Amino acid sequence: MVQSYLRHGPTQAFGLICSISSNSLYDGKLAYVPALEDVLVWDMKKGHMLAMWHETGHRAEVTCIQRSPQQNVFAVGYADGSVRLWDSTLGSVRATFNGHRKAVTALAFDTQGVKLASGSQDTDLIVWDLVADVDHWHLFFALLDQPSTSTGSSNGFLLSTSKDTLLKLWDLSTQHCVQTIVAHRSEVWSMDLSPQQNLIFTGSGEGDLKAWKIDYDAVAAGLKTTESGEIGKMIQAVATLPLSSRHRVSQILFHHSQPYVAVQSHDRSIEVFRMRTEDEVRKKQARRRKRAQEKEEKSKSKKKDIIDEAGGDELGANEVGLIDLFTPIWLFEQVGKSDRSTLLQMPLGIKQGSMSILLALASNALEVYNIPPPPKSKDQVPEASRIYSLDIPGHRTDVRTLCLSSDDQILASASNGTLKLWNVKTTACIRTIDCGYAICSTFLPGDRHLAVGTKSGDILVYDVASSTLIDTVKAHSSTVWSMHLRPDGKVLASGSADKEVKFWELEHEATPEDEGHLKKSLVLVHTRTLKMSDDVLSLRYSPNGKLVAVSLLDSTVKIFYQDTLKFFLSLYGHKLPVLAMDISDDSKLIVTCSADKNVKIWGLDFGDCHRSIFAHEDSVTQVLFEKKSHYFWTVGKDRVLKYWDGDKFENIQKLEGHHNEIWALAVSHYGNFVVTGSHDKSIRIWEKLDEPLFLEEERERELEHLYENDLAETLNQPDDTIGQGENADSRHSAEVATVSKQTMDTLMAGERIIEALDLADNERAALRDFEDQKARLGTLEAAGLQPPPRHPILAALDLEPDSYVLRVVERISRAALYDALLVLPFGKVLSLMPYLDMWAKKGWNIALVSYITFFLLKTHHHQIVANRIMRTTLIQMRIHLRNTLRHEKDTVGYNLAALQYLRRKSEVERTAHFFEKEDFDETKVREKISEGKKRKRVSIKA
């Protein structure tokens, strides 16, 4: 009988506040931040997470977030090149667009929110039509290294910048680049357009901030030559603004309503500029001239110099430069490291003119600062105050150790500086305690105390109930790499890099508490020391309490009797140090994992190696047996969690989800779940499901997954034919091309259409054969002839063949329909044409029928024209489709006329109702209107 296992699946991911892979958004109350593959919505005032935008099965990181002008719509770009439209009220995906082959780096909506532009690392710019829900509008091949920012304007133009130092202006109506500017000497990392859409700011890798002006007269005139024979420039350079930092400009952001602009540099500094009006600049110049005149009167000896200075001011007074308009008002040095993850969003603050800035830090924290309005005098320096800070629900650094309480209710996680206690069921952070650089941890008997081994060699003992440090034991002179509790719970063993294994007895003190001082309730008493020849990396007691295993830096594992500490066995075979190990509950097997990427299973009776398994693609960091079984778990630096059978030496399941190396692992005492902690600062729970798992099916599924990925990558490669020579890169010579990216969803959609066509064609062929046979027979014989049985699917759905094909096509999303139709071979296109004719004749979903018909005719034009069999079908389709479209046009026109009539009728009724009042006097109303008096405010008191 084939052995079956139970499948494990991801259920919870917590401990992450924000990640550094993308920008963030802030509206003054809610923060929309990336969290690896999810988007989290935080209420910054309350510090609560309101929503998590997660799509099951999708593991690509979030790389860009943009908010639509339409309410509650967000566009999110991912590292796999996909773009998803999220509805913030429902927390669900509206549409998915697949067109890019690499990570999406920039997103921008137009002013109405009906078009979306996306830029990617694959050097492509794509404009998506969101109204028609079509995933292919046009592809702009800009020949860029990496588009960094793109933004759209209201008049159908698109701006893009990239690492190739260029600033480009695209005309969406002609789908071509109308101007290319060498903006900087180095890569352009950031760009933003002013709310009035008249100024463009660009930032480079050398710390330059340049301003550009849009000439709307030249834009309206188009590409025309001037009298000198030059083409009019639509974008003109204005000035270069000086910055306090010379590091890379990573972000620029204009305030949506106030005259402020914020510039963030790569050295953690943020500089805020205020845009002054021309009147303010002229007043300042007048004050400067006045001071110069006063100075001239006081010092007659320097009269000539002062006159020159005053004259220069008079010349500059007539012309106001851009540098004069922008004045720096605030410079902020960030505490935490941040790059593109920090986004500056400046909604209106509490006071008029104040701003709020959201900082999404790389240390897994969010901060909101309030910037007061600029002071009236130079002596006053505006100081920003931190009004909100969100850092409790996650660690500042990578999670290094995990341990579970004996009842699996509390999870302890520790990192460099913090120890956190979590409720496993609700994943809520219960306690946050300061600690050193934690390396290992374990709950002590009774789950009331927790011991943590640190990098400095100390063992810290915490009281869980009061969340206080009750004892600090100077255990070792170097890092404590491992701790393990003896099965009877009386002795704690610790192994360190100082080549010693120390044994500590747990003693409880029943002394009462003194006033103001908490007496220690648990004491670690050092009893024995085991000297080793090399650094101790891991140690484990056997569950029967007879042996203790110690792994050393020399890649060997030494096993001793725990009572006498006499040497018993030596396990050698690993090529690199053994980082972790574990012993099964029956004390028969010991499994070791090493930095050489191998896992070895040994017998504890004679120390023989049962099997050596190449387990991971990188160092294996942790290994643990599942309770009361020979199944064990391994994690490694290759970001994968694996489940193994220690008797059959088979890999049961491979679980992916983390985005960085996994350092910590904890297995439930009841075998219900497993917890992992990673360098990406997230903690994930993988629960055991009721779904059975068979090894043969799992291997087949993995092979299918590899085949599907290879197939999709092959289909998405450029179509370069052999012998093209210089034209081999023909795709790169075109400025505009169609969007086409095959995914498994589109391939499966194409297969569903092919299966539906085969089923419908067979059903129609059987009906035709029955009708022909019935026509050949006599009347009596034909009456007794039974019709062929209907296909079970058609009979269950009670549909005709043409209705069934339409049902299948309608169930495919419009975003995937384009690529699904490209998958169809030409023979199936010919089979689909008669069904399109039937649908057009019956008037079924005429918009979808027209879309498919025009797309297939455009794609397969040459083959269809050369096929004589299609002539009859196309003539009939033209007649039926034209008649149906004319009918639809008449219906729309009739409905539009009816709506206009109802609107006019409503206006007439409202006007008549207003004029038909009893005390209405036309002359009095006209006099009142002519006065133009404002409404008086009336204060009503209760």
DSSP string across 83-97: EEEEETTTTEEEEEE
pLDDT at 739: 62
**Cα(334)–Cα(359) distance, integer angstroms:** 9
Closest of 454, 337, 468 to residue 396, by C-alpha: 337
What amino acid occupies position 397?
T
What backbone phi and psi angles, to 5 degrees, belong to 901? -65, -45
**Cα(41)–Cα(52) distance, integer angstroms:** 6
**Cα(374)–Cα(328) distance, integer angstroms:** 10
DSSP 8-class letter at 725 = G
DSSP 8-class letter at 225 = B
Band of residue 275 on the pLDDT scale cut at 50, 70, 90? confident
Token pair belonging to 196: 């009035």
pLDDT at 301: 54
**Secondary structure tally for the chain: helices H, strands E:** 16, 55
Would the pTM of this model clear 0.95, i.e. be above it? no
Q: Helix (H, G, I), strand (E, B), or coil: what is residue 487?
A: coil
pLDDT at 154: 45
Closest of 19, 51, 15, 12 to residue 37, by C-alpha: 19
**Cα(781)–Cα(776) distance, integer angstroms:** 10
Band of residue 458 on the pLDDT scale cut at 50, 70, 90? very high
* Residue 758: its H or E element: helix 744-776
Mean pLDDT lowest among 385-389, 496-500, 878-882, 913-917? 913-917
DSSP 8-class letter at 751 = H
**Cα(767)–Cα(126) distance, integer angstroms:** 47
What lies within 8 Å, CB to CB, of 491 at 6+ separation is: 485, 503, 504, 505, 506, 527
Band of residue 784 on the pLDDT scale cut at 50, 70, 90? confident
**Cα(615)–Cα(617) distance, integer angstroms:** 7
Band of residue 861 on the pLDDT scale cut at 50, 70, 90? confident
Band of residue 920 on the pLDDT scale cut at 50, 70, 90? low
In this predicted model, which residue has the larger pLDDT, 705 or 367?
367
Band of residue 321 on the pLDDT scale cut at 50, 70, 90? low
Token pair belonging to 410: 């509390």
User: Mean pLDDT across the stretch 789-815?
Assistant: 87
Within the chain, what is the greatest distance between any pair of CA atoms?
132
What amino acid occupies position 875?
I
User: Mean pLDDT across the stretch 273-293?
Assistant: 78
What lies within 8 Å, CB to CB, of 448 at 6+ separation is: 463, 464, 465
Residue 26, judged by CB atoms within 10 A of its CB (0-12, 13-18, 19+), counts as: buried
Asked if 509 contacts 523 with a C-beta cutoff of 8 angstroms, the reply is yes
Q: How far is CA 917 from CA 42, 738, 922, in A?
A: 54, 63, 11
pLDDT at 245: 82
Buried b (16+ CB within 10 A) or exposed e, 615-632: bbeebbbbbbbbeeebbb
Can you say whether the dihedral through the CA atoms of 35, 36, 38, 39 is positive or negative? positive
684 beta partners: 13, 676
